[in-house]
Amino acid sequence: MSLLALFLVVAGLGLIGWLTARMRAVAFRRGSTARFSSLPSHFGGYVALWTVLPAALFLAVWAATSPALVTNSVLKDPIAAQLPPPGFDRAAILSEARSLAAGTSFGAFNPLAEKLAPAYAVAQTQIDWIGTAVALLLVFATGGFAYTRVRPDFRARTKVEFVVMGGLLAASLIAILTTLGIVASLLFESWRFFEIVPITDFLFGTHWSPQVIDPADPGATLGAVPLFWGTFLIGAVIAMIVAIPFGLMSAVYLTQYASGAARRWMKPILEILAGVPTVVYGYFAALTIAPAVRDFAVSIGVTWASSESALAAGLVMGVMIIPFVSSMADDSLAAVPASMRDGSLAMGATSSETIRRVLLPAALPGVVGGVLLAVSRAIGETMIVVMAASGVATLTLNPFASATTVTKQIVDLLTGEAEFDSPKTLAAFALGLTLFVITLLLNIVALTVVKRYREAYE
């Protein structure tokens, strides 16, 4: 029986357990005047959990271990003595025999695989039978045990709720597991990278061209400083030059000046700007903005301007960030006590004077925190730079020159045809780790600033 079918059978038996236990509980409650701690459905749930959970756990473990068991029993077969020693060839023959036995492929490349296939089929059937038998035995044993405990004085609710609570806790632990998974996978692959390339070469080297890696000195062409600079130039300088004034001024206008109707209309429109997928921005940047920027550069006399300039990517990224800055500024302005604004207006200041000299200075920490969050989002943004920025790493101050970013390089490195262990692919993980650490630090600093500021006015 296949694993999926077995799972379905177990689930069906669980349902039957639920129904019978519930019926029994309904029966003993009928006519009784005693007070029960549990509802019939609790008894049902108790029996169903006992029926399904142990068997399901067993099946999960079984699914992971049974292939190894099958292979082991095949290796005891006399034909298996002809197998080459453990290594790539042996694994290839075994996997071929396995797919022959399972019927997913017809005809084998290796004659030995064809000879091993019957042994595989036999072992597979045997192991499958053992698995099915143990699973069904578990279902009936644990389910039956639970059914015998369905009695009026049994506190089924406590038990069921204990399991539910465990499920809730497990669900919230997934977040920690994900974080750990990210950190572990990035650290592990980066560690392997730094075994090949010295970390100082990577962090402080100024020459980046991963297409040509010298095996004798791989660090010479894997210096990431131009990437960090390009990321900073596009994400933290050009994008912010667009996003901060636009975001801040729209927040000011929408919260302080606009009428209710205008606010109701304009806020969702700005939010749409944040909801447009980045691949659309990237396409727009590459198709429309980049040629326009180039033409503009040529018209002001920069004849060598790149058609994949830092400016084009940065401008579009800035527009993408506007709603983000705007909503952060909105929150900070709303947190400023009304008394400060009222006081300023009562002294005779105009609205703009109040905003510029009272509200904005008071909201400044919140705005700064918001801008830091926006920077962290901009430097992690991928599709716009993948589509509109160039792949050439240059250390330049000129916005019309081409610049590349960390995210763009990660995509370029990992979508080539290189094998998984080359310094090229591992470099992508080292870049990912750097990006992760920088965004994490930015976020922590920003959230601390925002929190302190909130507390100051509460």
Partner 1 sequence: MSETLVAQLPVGPAEPAERAPTDWRTQSMQRRIRQRYAAERRFRLLGMAAVVLSAGFLAVLLVTMVYNGASGFLRTEIALPVDFANAGLTVDPARLKGPGADLALAGAGVENATKTAAIAAFGPQGSDLLSDGAWLSVRAAIKRDPAIMRGRSIVWVPASDAIDIAAKRTGSPENEAIVAHFKQRNAIATGFNWPFLTASDSNDSTRAGIWGAFKGSLFTMIVTLLIAFPIGVLSALYLEEYAPRNRWTDLIEVSINNLAAVPSIIFGLLGLAVFLGTFGLPRSAPIVGGLTLALMTMPVIVIAGRNAIKGVPPSIRDAALGIGASPIQVVFHHVLPLALPGILTGTIIGMARALGETAPLLMIGMRAFISAPPAGLSDPSTVLPVQIFLWSDQIDRGFVEKTSAAIIVLLVFLLAMNGIAIYLRNKFETRW
Binding range to partner 1, per CB under 8 A, among 78-86, 104-112, 186-194, 221-229: 186-194
Q: Contact letters (x/-) for partner 1, 229-248, by CB under 8 A? A: ----------------xxxx
Nearest by Cα to 157 from 54, 49, 45: 45
Which positions from 83 through 142 interact with partner 1, judged by CB under 8 A?
A: none
Nearest by Cα to 403 from 311, 293, 272: 311
**Token pair 């019957």 in the structure block, residue:** 118
Beta bridge mates, 208? 222
Nearest by Cα to 373 from 439, 436, 427: 439
Task: Report the residue number, 219 or 432, with the smaller CB distance to partner 1.
Answer: 432
Binding range to partner 1, per CB under 8 A, among 2-10, 126-134, 279-287, 297-305: 279-287
d(CA 15, CA 11): 6
Task: Report the residue number, 27 or 177, with the smaller CB distance to partner 1.
Answer: 177
Q: Which of 169, 212, 300, 338 binds partner 1 (CB under 8 A)?
A: 169
Q: Give the interface size with partner 1 as a residue count (CB under 8 A).
A: 89
Residue 173 is a binding residue for partner 1 (CB under 8 A): yes
Which positions from 249 through 278 interact with partner 1, judged by CB under 8 A?
A: 249-250, 252-254, 256-258, 266, 268-270, 272-273, 275-278
Task: Report the residue number, 132 or 327, with the smaller CB distance to partner 1.
Answer: 327
Task: Report the residue number, 311 or 379, with the smaller CB distance to partner 1.
Answer: 379
Task: Report the residue number, 119 or 371, with the smaller CB distance to partner 1.
Answer: 371
Q: Contact letters (x/-) for partner 1, 22-61, by CB under 8 A? A: ----------------------------------------
Task: Report the residue number, 80 or 323, with the smaller CB distance to partner 1.
Answer: 323
- Shortest Å distance, C-beta 294 to partner 1: 17
Which positions from 383 through 422 interact with partner 1, judged by CB under 8 A?
A: 383, 386-387, 407, 410-411, 414-415, 420
Q: Which of 179, 200, 206, 448 binds partner 1 (CB under 8 A)?
A: 179
Which positions from 365 through 384 interact with partner 1, judged by CB under 8 A?
A: 373, 376-377, 379-383
Q: Which of 356, 361, 416, 452 binds partner 1 (CB under 8 A)?
A: 356
Q: Contact letters (x/-) for partner 1, 189-228, by CB under 8 A? A: x---------------------------------------
Q: Which of 280, 292, 298, 364 binds partner 1 (CB under 8 A)?
A: 280
Q: Which of 4, 34, 171, 300 binds partner 1 (CB under 8 A)?
A: 171
- Shortest Å distance, C-beta 185 to partner 1: 4
Residue 448 is a binding residue for partner 1 (CB under 8 A): no
Please state, in angstroms and as integers, the Cα–Cα distance from residue 53 to each residue in 24, 42, 96, 191, 266, following that order: 21, 16, 35, 39, 52
- Shortest Å distance, C-beta 8 to partner 1: 17
Binding range to partner 1, per CB under 8 A, among 5-13, 123-131, 157-165, 332-340: 157-165
Binding range to partner 1, per CB under 8 A, among 23-31, 116-124, 143-151, 163-171: 163-171
- Shortest Å distance, C-beta 235 to partner 1: 11
Structure-block tokens of residue 199: 């970390």
Q: Which of 61, 334, 440, 456 binds partner 1 (CB under 8 A)?
A: 440
Q: Residue 9 class from Cβ within 10 Å (0-12 exposed, 13-18 middle, 19+ buried)?
A: middle
d(CA 311, CA 239): 9
Beta bridge mates, 222? 208
Q: Contact letters (x/-) for partner 1, 319-348, by CB under 8 A? A: x--xx-------------------------
- Shortest Å distance, C-beta 206 to partner 1: 24
Q: List the Cα angle 146/16/3 in 5-degree steps.
A: 95
d(CA 138, CA 319): 60
Binding range to partner 1, per CB under 8 A, among 24-32, 123-131, 165-173, 300-308: 165-173
- Shortest Å distance, C-beta 379 to partner 1: 8
- Shortest Å distance, C-beta 129 to partner 1: 26
